[in-house]
Amino acid sequence: MPRLALVLGFLLTTGCGRVAAPLPPFIRIPERIRDLTATQSGKDVVLSWTNPARNIDGSPAAGLSLVHITSDGEEVAKVAPTGAGRPQSHSIPAQSWIGTNRRFTVWLQTVRDKQSGAAEVSIAPVLVPGPVTGLKAIVDQYSIIVRWEPPQENPGLAERYFVRRLDRTGPPIPNPGLEYKDSTFDLGAEYAYEVVAARQIESGWIPGPASPPIRVIALDKTSPQPPAGIQLVVVDGGAIVTWEANRELDLAGYRVYRNGERAGDALQTGNSYFDPAYRDGMKYSVSAVDESGNESSPSESPIDRDGPSERLGGHHPGAPRHPTPVTFSLGKKKRWAMRSGFYMKHGVAGRGLFPALAGCREAAGRFVQQNQFREQHHPGASRHPSSSRRGKTLFLEQQCLSAANSFTPEISARSV
């Protein structure tokens, strides 16, 4: 009886089963690359693709071990994959293939020696310009200025230059000339620039090889140009030194030197200077100074050699007996008149008085331009009083009255 119960219990605890249909085996073969491209950069062909993320059976593409690259049936490279589903590129020297069409094939191999299907692409490499020469960078007038010379190799193929600041993302900036100005930077920071010459074909721009990047610290150490057109005119009570106004955006003013020594401590904001301490034989020179304190080399003036009858002041035969008005325009709403009680010989006045008055407006316009630049590129910087309309008017008055009154006490100026 106990044995029968044991048998019955065993039968009750077991069930019936059946054999399931067989499952297909896993096929660990990577999918074929689907986005293979070929481009030319300098003297290299660059192949780019995305490694497959899955095998042909849909399973993850694990165990990728090698990427094989062939050109017209000849293997040219074996590289390690960057990983399943990740982008990858490889450069191949193409100098010996210039002018011929080349077919490239790329396929993958796994650690179990499984091979993906092959992806193909074709390209015909062309001649390109060589690297640019003489690459340099300076900081001046609120900008980093990058300059270069054309390449020595295939210079006629350089139809455009592409400039890249290495700390920026995005495409390089096309530039048709040999200079690039960058006005967005932080003072004291270091920047690096790369310039590439390129030629154009039907498919687009083909860059040549890049030159080594140039590095620069954003501090202005560039001096202004020396003032030009220095003139000395002797008048009763002193001498007038005039010069052509500089055009630098960051110009702070001028320093006048008498026999090599500073004539006054303050910078001259206009382009004229009256010196009551003049003596025969004195020599004058003028330098330009920018807002960073950089000073140009001085420009010397000739020693005045006019005889007494050629100097301003006194009476000259044929001189008018009444004051001679001289006017010049500062704009649509402002006119200034000056009356002098002495004879102005045309040749002398043309060298001294008139250029200074004309330079008055030019200097005022330069200061307004400086402030517009500061407001656009350096909003936090201090503003010059000429930034506002009222400030601009007052600034013009100060500049032109200063230019007028600096010649001699015998000249008076008033607004009309």
Residue 118 has pLDDT above 80, yes or no: yes
Residue 129 has pLDDT above 60, yes or no: yes
Domain pair 133-217 / 231-415, same fold? yes
The more confidently predicted of residues 296 and 363 is: 296
The band of 92, judged by pLDDT with boundaries at 50, 70 and 90, is very high
Residue 336 has pLDDT above 70, yes or no: no
> Which of 99-113, 350-364, 370-384 is predicted most confidently?
99-113
Element holding 316 (H helix, E strand): none
Alpha-carbon gap, residue 66 to 324, rounded angstroms: 93
Residue 375 has pLDDT above 90, yes or no: no
Mean pLDDT, the chain, integer: 77
pLDDT (0 to 100) of residue 209 = 94
Note the pLDDT tens digit of each residue in 166-195. 999 989 999 999 999 999 999 999 999 999
Residue 2 has pLDDT above 60, yes or no: no
The more confidently predicted of residues 24 and 413 is: 24
Note the pLDDT tens digit of each residue in 11-39. 545 555 566 566 556 678 999 999 999 99
The DSSP bridge partners found for residue 301 are: none
Architecture of the domain spanning 37-123: Sandwich (2.60)
Note the pLDDT tens digit of each residue in 216-275. 999 999 999 999 999 999 988 899 999 999 999 999 999 999 999 999 888 999 999 999
CATH of region 231-415:
2.60.40.10
b/e sequence 73-85, b meaning 16+ C-beta within 10 Å: eeebeeeebeebe
pLDDT (0 to 100) of residue 245 = 94
Question: Which superfamily, per CATH, for 133-217?
Answer: Immunoglobulins (2.60.40.10)
3-state secondary structure at position 57 = coil
331 Cβ contact list (under 8 Å, min separation 6): 396
Kindly report which listed range (169-173, 319-323, 388-392) carries the lowest average pLDDT score.
Answer: 319-323
- Domain extent listing, the chain: 37-123, 133-217, 231-415
Characterise 411 by phi-psi region: left (phi > 0), alpha (psi -120 to 50), beta (else). Answer: beta
Residue 202 has pLDDT above 80, yes or no: yes
Q: What is the CA radius of gyration of the chain?
A: 39
Residue 66 has pLDDT above 70, yes or no: yes
% of the chain with per-residue pLDDT over 70: 66
The more confidently predicted of residues 342 and 296 is: 296
Question: What's the whole-number mean pLDDT along residues 54-67?
Answer: 92
pLDDT (0 to 100) of residue 243 = 94
pLDDT (0 to 100) of residue 360 = 52
Q: How far lies 139's CA from each of 142, 187, 215, 217, 384, in Å?
A: 7, 10, 11, 8, 22
pLDDT (0 to 100) of residue 28 = 83
The band of 300, judged by pLDDT with boundaries at 50, 70 and 90, is confident
pLDDT (0 to 100) of residue 128 = 96
Question: What's the whole-number mean pLDDT along residues 130-144?
Answer: 96
Reported pTM: 0.63
pLDDT (0 to 100) of residue 377 = 54
Residue 405 has pLDDT above 80, yes or no: no
Residue 330 has pLDDT above 50, yes or no: no
Residue whose tokens read 């290495």: 166
